[in-house]
Structure 1
Amino acid sequence: MKLMVNHQTHYSYSDSVNSSIQYIRMTPSSNANQTVHHWAVSVPGQSIVKQDAFDNIWLTSSQREPYSQMTIMAQGIVELNLNNQFGIESDGLNPALFLQPTESTVCTEDMQAFAHAHVPAVNHHYLMQLSEAILQYIPYVPSRTSVQTSAADAFYKREGVCQDHSHVFIAMCKYLGIPARYVSGYLFVPQTVHLASHAWAEVFLNNAWYCFDTSNQLFAPNSHIYVAIGRDYWDVAPVRGVREKGGIESMSSIVQVLRCS
């Protein structure tokens, strides 16, 4: 299945930005799950392409001319392997790396009790049960949390989006001693044009990575385009950066994921 992606992120500032550096993770790689036929990221300034510690493609863009608006565009065509049932392999990365604690995936005592209640034994069936229970406990409610919201915040708030579901699931898995990672990318939903970039979790069981898309209750990556993997959102954030001046920043984003022949 070939998918065409158009991702535009627009920034505007109340005052002029003198200079900035943007770190952009919006470029997928070809792997067992997908073949990238074409991909391009358009951003003002001078750009350098590197790979980060998780083998994600990392674009560093420096803008040295003053500006008050900036648009970053990522576009391309990716073909999914519909026969793939597992998450992508991370060559050279020890799965134990994804047991490391992070501020966004702290598991509180209440969360630990929740995890034990739904996972009496570590296996795929009980982890699916945990994923289902998290969605019931934390219904999908947009615009009520932010990238700053931690797993514990979302758990006690009892509402959130895919980022929050992923953080909560990862926090509980790591507490149970299961390597769990955060994945950013895109989700194809038929008859839907305007989407947001997506996030889901994966766990390492029986020497393979398994997909757990809690927000959509999908457990195979047959509709998912992988862009970046990490321990939490901050390892895979599509755009992070620093700037000199600029006042108040406003951001809007639009994503289109369409099937193409």
Structure 2
Amino acid sequence: MTVKLAVHHVTEYTYEDAVEWAYHAACLVPRDTPWQQVSGWQLGITPLPDGWGIEGLELDSAELARHLRRDPWGNRHFSFGHARMHEKLVVDSRFVAELRERPAPDPASGPDWESVALGLRYRAGRALQEADEFALASAYAAPDEALAAYARRAFSGRRTLAAGGLSLMRQIHADLRYLPQSTTVATRAGDALAQRSGVCQDFAHVFIAACRSLGLAARYVSGYLLTRPPEGVPKLVGADASHAWAELWCPEQGWLALDPTNAVPAGLDHVTLAWGRDYDDVAPLRGVLRGGGVAMLRVAVTVEPWLSGESAPLAPSA
């Protein structure tokens, strides 16, 4: 089974005072994976960044590709700057993603979690593997004793890694309250667990840090989620938001994509943007600027089924 989803993500900053100079870095380029193929990506930035072509002309794929760089995990980033006065910044990203069903985590198969943790321990002569760095601490998902104790409730006995991961996903969903504005982008996993609330970013960080506290490898995935309103209620444009979930490394089943915010494995509703050790590696947009005063931020994300016959631009290569 496959589905096509159209994603539209707009970030708008309106500044109290004019910005004199600004430099931004972004992670907004969706990636191709075995379960996701991106058939189009358009980027609009207003005002047009310095050195990004001619004002008033749309950037083509070759022009966009010139500004992209890859990080160690294969995500594509870009940076841009303005050395002129402006009072508003708008970054508009849109694309179409074709999603295939990925294998569901099988709790009855695979190794037990303790043997996986043992295999991830460093020892002389062991070849490095992809999962190794995702078992280490990172800024927002660092192991600690409280997180380890919390994780052991899910990873009890010698249950399989997949069974433990699914149990931890459901445990976080039950124990933490989804509460917007109860945390910030700088909230760490231990703090989110202690206050028992947060948003999808915090749910993912708690899952990742809890797994790392037991010596397991887990990574942070940023993306988008197709949300469906109750029957008979129209879907509001812009009602969706950026989303985040986690992936747990299982030697036999690969990366198990688990969404603790919704207590479901990631599926045909989950559009992958990028992955890293935690949010800090894949923040959608960040920057430094001179001037501006207080900034008002507006983010609108719309994820909808793509209708056959709609045009989709070619994605830039890099």
State the aligned residue count: 256
1:148-193 deviation per Cα after TM superposition (whole angstroms, max 9, x unaligned): 1110111111111110000000001111111100000111123444
The answer as to whether partners of 1:84 and 1:221 remain within 8 angstroms in 2 is no
Q: Say which is worse superposed, 188-197 or 213-222, in terms of deviation.
A: 188-197
Contact 1:23 1:241 in 2 (8 A): yes
Cα deviation per residue 1:195-252 (whole Å; 9 max; x = unaligned)? 1010000011124100110001111432211111000001010001111222222211
User: What amino acid maps onto 2:49 in structure 1?
Assistant: G
Contact 1:23-1:239 at 8 Å conserved across structures: yes
Map Cα deviations across residues 34-83 of structure 1 (whole Å, 9 max, x no partner): 11111112113045211112211101111121111111000111111125
TM-score by length of 1: 0.92
Give the structure 2 partner of residue 13 of structure 1: 15
Distance in 1, matches of 2:6 and 2:77, equals 21
Aligned to 1:116: 152
Letter in 1 for 2:93: A
Which amino acid letter does the alignment assign opposite residue 69 of structure 1? Answer: K
2:97 aligned residue (78, 96, 102): 78
- Pick from 183, 197, 201: which aligns with 1:159? 197
Cα–Cα, structure 1 residues 107 and 83, in superposed 2: closer, same or farther, change >3 Å?
Answer: closer
TM-score (norm 2): 0.76
The 2-side partners of 1:84 and 1:252 are apart by 36
Counterpart of 1:151, as a letter, is A
Task: Report the residue type matching 2:39 in the other structure.
Answer: H
Structure 2: distance between partners of 1:166 and 1:257: 21
For the Cα contact (< 8 Å) 2:204–2:245, is it kept in 1?
yes
Distance 1:247 1:131 in 2: 41
C-alpha contact (below 8 Å) 1:33/1:84 kept by paired residues: no
For residue 171 of structure 1, what is the aligned residue in structure 2?
A: 209
User: How far, CA to CA, are the matches of 1:118 and 1:83 in structure 2?
Assistant: 24
Other-structure match for 1:138: 176
The separation in 2 between residues aligned to 1:84 and 1:27, in whole angstroms, is 25
Unpaired segments ≥5 residues, structure 2: 53-66, 106-127, 230-234, 308-318
Find the counterpart in structure 2 of residue 37 from structure 1. 39
Residues 83 and 126 (structure 1 numbering): CA distance in 2 closer, same or farther, change over 3 Å? closer
C-alpha distance in structure 2 between counterparts of 1:145 and 1:94, whole Å: 31
Fraction of identical pairs, as percent:
32
Deviation, 1:102, is 1.5
RMSD: 1.7
- Asked if the contact 2:137–2:143 (Cα under 8 Å) also holds between the matched residues in 1, the reply is no
| Structure showing greater Rg | 2
Out of 41-50 and 248-257, give the one that drifted further: 41-50
2:89 maps to a residue whose letter is M
Instruction: Give the corresponding residue for 1:51.
Output: 70
The structure in which a higher percent of residues are strand is 1
Residues in 2 aligned to 1:54 and 1:241: alpha-carbon distance in whole angstroms: 22
* 2:280 paired residue number: 234
Match of 2:249 among 204, 223, 236: 204
Deviations 1:76-111 (A, max 9, x none): 11111125548xxxxx97210111212211233222
**Matches of 1:190 and 1:132 in 2, distance apart?**
21
Distance 1:73 1:55 in 2: 22
